[in-house]
Structure 1
């Protein structure tokens, strides 16, 4: 297993939030976008994963907006990914 695959496996574990809908949103972005994403977007994803689950969920439901503009853009992107 190469280093990139090992990192993705660790990230997949961090995407497991205990709420199936949230898990799927985060894992879908990881599967579809992580490999080709620029460093700044990857860093925003890591900050997103460091956030509290209930806050992340409110961001995806558009009940709140992240203060971090890069996370806000990422949440918008994740919302529009194909299912």
Structure 2
């Protein structure tokens, strides 16, 4: 497998994972985000997305909705990209 195939498989897995979170709310936030962005992302951005997706759904949803501040370990810059994308899609 070449590195191009590796990243293609990684992108496909991330898109699947984004749409199959376990909570419908996060599916509808992360799924469209992944569909719109993962094909353009390189390894570094995919790493950032994977790390954010490693978070549990309930706190991640509260962060996206602005109900709670994320802890210090969270990549806030990348979280802001997700929030902006969600707000654009929902007209908020």
Match of 1:8 in 2: 11
**Structure 2 residue matching 1:42: 3-state secondary structure:** helix
Alignment RMSD (CA, Å): 2.2
* TM-score, length of structure 2 as denominator length: 0.68
Q: Pick the structure with greater CA Rg.
A: 2
Match of 2:73 in 1: 68
- Give structure 2 stretches of 5+ with no counterpart: none
Q: With CA pairs under 8 Å and 6+ residues apart, which has the higher RCO, 1 or 2?
A: 1
Match of 2:26 in 1: 22
Cα distance 1:60–1:44, how it changes in 2: closer, same or farther (>3 A)? same
- Give structure 1 stretches of 5+ with no counterpart: none
